[in-house]
Amino acid sequence: MGDSYATAFSCGLKDLEPTVVNLADNRLSKKGSRTIIKNLKPSICSLDLSQNVIDEVGANSLGEFAKLRANSLRELDLENTRLGDTGVISLCKQLLDHPKLSTLNLAKNRITDSGCGAISQLVSETFYFTTLLLHWNYITGDGAAKILSAAARYGSMKVLDLSWNSIGRAKTKVFVKQLAENLATQENIMHMDLSHNKIKREHCKEISDALTPNHTLWGLHFADNEGYTVDAKGYLVEDALDVPVGAQHIEHRIGKLETLRKSLKASRRGRKQGSNCWICEGWSEAAVEYPLMKLN
């Protein structure tokens, strides 16, 4: 569509009451995005503006839209929209006044630890928040610890994607302890991706020990970190093959968790990759009971 038709499209929105608007990858610049955002209707439940350009002003406009009392917005996809830390901080502050939001995709937005404070506050104060996708940003262990801490203490988050970040790199060494403590006390998250994060072997060991007593995390992805893998029981264990970091080239993305049952049936892409994720591969636990017979 591009900016050329953005004005015409936004005028058409005034006469409609759409519930789903998908404008992904439409070559919209800052100007075109702002024009459409200003004319969005409160009836929209799902909005996808990914793969366009939305700056801080556009993020502010989205926040103002979300604050409308009659707003029905539940899902917001802003992947690869060049928000950066400034745009994310502005957006999250505005979204605090919209407790209905359940799914937020901020993947590929060059977010650093500076933006994680605002994200963690949003996670802790939004009651219906269930899915947060932060794939392919610049988040280190310090920023990840903030988000996990908020999810462990306050949130209702079920799905968290932190893959392709830099969790293994942090300014301080205490991040591993904080990360492990948050994972150990985590009772909400059911599906999490920590793949491709440059996590060192000794840090993987601490994370593994912390996850051992956790029985609520049904699906864990941990590919391409040093020396550890997820076994068939869903535990993080030392990898006997010790696949070198960077040797895995298959990219797999986890998505929103609408219902656990639907995800178990519908999402089976991980089966080809051997992820051992119970959710992606459609696994379910089965208990077999065999009654003992008395012998005469």
- Indicate if the pLDDT at residue 268 is higher than 80: no
- Indicate if the pLDDT at residue 247 is higher than 90: no
- Indicate if the pLDDT at residue 243 is higher than 60: no
Instruction: Give the contacts of 208 (CB within 8 A, at least 6 positions apart).
Output: 228, 235, 236, 237, 238
Is residue 140 classed as helix, strand or coil in its secondary structure? coil
Q: Report how far residue 70's alpha carbon sits from residue 98's, in angstroms, rounded to the nearest whole number.
A: 10
Nearest to 119 by CA among 80, 145, 100: 145
Q: Report how far residue 162's alpha carbon sits from residue 144's, in angstroms, rounded to the nearest whole number.
A: 8
29 by Cβ neighbours in 10 Å (0-12 / 13-18 / 19+) ranks as middle
Mean local confidence (pLDDT), 125-132: 89
Q: Which residues of 175-190 are buried (b: 16+ CB within 10 A; e: fewer)?
A: bbebbbbbbeebebbb
Mean pLDDT, the chain, integer? 84
pTM: 0.88
- Indicate if the pLDDT at residue 273 is higher than 70: no
CB atoms inside a 10 Å sphere around CB 54: 26
pLDDT of residue 183: 82
The residue to which tokens 């933006």 are assigned: 115
- Indicate if the pLDDT at residue 265 is higher than 60: no
The model's confidence at residue 260, banded by pLDDT at 50, 70 and 90, is very low
- Indicate if the pLDDT at residue 251 is higher than 60: no
The model's confidence at residue 267, banded by pLDDT at 50, 70 and 90, is very low
- Indicate if the pLDDT at residue 63 is higher than 90: no
- Indicate if the pLDDT at residue 266 is higher than 80: no
pLDDT of residue 250: 52
Mean local confidence (pLDDT), 99-126: 93
Mean local confidence (pLDDT), 4-19: 85
How far apart, in Å, are the Cα atoms of 225 and each of 163, 202, 212, 245?
Answer: 11, 11, 18, 6
Q: Report how far residue 116's alpha carbon sits from residue 110's, in angstroms, rounded to the nearest whole number.
A: 12
Q: Report how far residue 57's alpha carbon sits from residue 64's, in angstroms, rounded to the nearest whole number.
A: 11
The model's confidence at residue 275, banded by pLDDT at 50, 70 and 90, is confident
Nearest to 154 by CA among 125, 116, 115: 125
